[in-house]
Amino acid sequence: MAILIVADHDNHTLQAATFSVLTAASEIAKHISDTELHLLIIGNECQSVIAMAQGITGLSKILVADHQIHQYPLAENIAPLIFSLVQEQGHCNDENREFDKVEYSHIITSAGTTGKDYQPRVAALLDVAQISDIISVESADTFKRPIYAGKAIATVQSSDAIKVLTVRSSAFTAASLTTELLAIESQVPVAALAAQADSGKSAFIKAELTQSSRPELTTAKIVISGGRGMQNTDNFELLYTLADQLHAAVGASRAAVDAGFVANDLQIGQTGKIVAPDLYIAVGISGAIQHIAGIAGSKVIVAINNDPDAPIFDVADYCLVADLFEVLPELTAVLKVKG
């Protein structure tokens, strides 16, 4: 038996979410006797990702589908690949064509944009249910997940033979990378998967990503978000200046994204990113349930809003009823003095 973990990466580095998924997979493994953790890397020219993965303790095998068609993570190509791997319940080593029989009990990845795209297709191909966005592992077949935008937590038990899961990465601490292993030859065997034909059902056109030197939104320790109250794109500069002083990431409400103030990869909430920083500062955000769904795991929430009845104050630890256009420059000036 084995648990198949599908890696998040950009063909250069493993993304932080994968380390949280590894923790979730290890927790599942504790409930199954004699199971292994296999990491599946799907990409193109992703040798540095493989090298990084070899520094992960606890893995029994790294499976690699390194092919041009996987340069960009298209669900229409990824889902059949995972399906065939699991359906055959095995994989072959490219060089000697030996076939290793493996039975997968779980297929697990992060509930990021890519995982949310292909995992439902994998589940449909296997004719099993998908269990989305798990926040805890109760046993090998029972998991907790938020429903109604986080207003309630459901405990879900699956009787399917194979569990197809996505993991809320902010709910699991990241497994550590044993960096010393990077320098020496890893013992984790790497198996190359046979090349696969392009499904032809989708094509990559372009990616427009926000270029930022600030921390990544989902892993940042401090996040400052702006809402419709910011009024326009230029005013977001006030947040960027403050964020740079605090080494924080910048996020936004959906209203701010829809109004075109910022790019949609900054959106936080039910249909955006889920964050769980040590400190979350909501500026000019009313606190709609769909936004709260993305920030509920934050350790401390600070809200700045000029409406004393704004719902964000119901969930905030520190509430500042004030005009953001007065507060932000003052805060920035104070932090500058304190250095």
Decide: 65 and 11 in contact? Cβ < 8 Å: no
For ligand FAD, the closer of residues 19 and 261 by Cβ is 261
Question: Taking CB under 6 A as the rule, does residue 324 contact ligand FAD?
Answer: yes
For ligand FAD, the closer of residues 23 and 305 by Cβ is 305
Closest approach, Cβ 265 to ligand FAD, in A, equals 12
Closest approach, Cβ 24 to ligand FAD, in A, equals 23
Question: Taking CB under 6 A as the rule, does residue 112 contact ligand FAD?
Answer: no
Which H or E run contains 183?
Answer: helix 180-183
Decide: 117 and 109 in contact? Cβ < 8 Å: no
Question: Taking CB under 6 A as the rule, does residue 310 contact ligand FAD?
Answer: yes
Nearest CA among 118, 83, 125 for reference residue 104: 83
Question: Between 227 and 266, how does the x/- string for binding to ligand FAD read (CB under 6 A)?
Answer: xxx-----------------------xxxx----------
Residue range at the interface with ligand FAD (CB under 6 A); choices 12-20, 97-105, 192-200, 302-310:
302-310
Question: Taking CB under 6 A as the rule, does residue 217 contact ligand FAD?
Answer: no
For ligand FAD, the closer of residues 39 and 255 by Cβ is 255
Instruction: For the segment 19-78, give every residue that binds ligand FAD (CB under 6 A).
Output: none
Give helix 113-126 / helix 75-87 axis angle, nearest 10°: 40
Instruction: For the segment 126-165, give every residue that binds ligand FAD (CB under 6 A).
Output: none
Q: With H, G, I as helix, E, B as strand and everything else as coil, classify residue 7.
A: coil
- What is the C-alpha to C-alpha distance for residues 209 and 193, in angstroms, rounded to an integer? 30
Output the CA–CA distances (angstroms, integers) from residue 203 to 10, 69, 90, 127, 198, in the order listed.
Answer: 17, 10, 28, 26, 10
- Measured in whole angstroms, the distance separating CA 223 from the mean position of its chain's CA atoms is 16
Question: Taking CB under 6 A as the rule, does residue 288 contact ligand FAD?
Answer: yes
Burial (0-12, 13-18, 19+ Cβ within 10 Å), 302: middle
Closest approach, Cβ 309 to ligand FAD, in A, equals 9
Give helix 324-338 / helix 236-246 axis angle, nearest 10°: 30
Closest approach, Cβ 8 to ligand FAD, in A, equals 20
Closest approach, Cβ 311 to ligand FAD, in A, equals 8
For ligand FAD, the closer of residues 307 and 314 by Cβ is 307
Tell me the residue type at 338: K
Closest approach, Cβ 321 to ligand FAD, in A, equals 9
Which one among 158, 186, 286, 332 touches ligand FAD, defined by CB under 6 A? Answer: 286
Question: Taking CB under 6 A as the rule, does residue 292 contact ligand FAD?
Answer: no
For ligand FAD, the closer of residues 240 and 325 by Cβ is 325
Residues in binding contact with ligand FAD, number by CB under 6 A: 28
Only one residue has tokens 């290890």, namely: 26
- What is the C-alpha to C-alpha distance for residues 2 and 296, in angstroms, rounded to an integer? 33
State the number of CA atoms in the 13 A half-sphere of 125 facing the CB: 20
- Measured in whole angstroms, the distance separating CA 227 from the mean position of its chain's CA atoms is 23
Instruction: Enumerate binding residues for ligand FAD (CB under 6 A).
Output: 227-229, 253-256, 267-272, 284-286, 288, 290-291, 294, 304-307, 310, 323-325
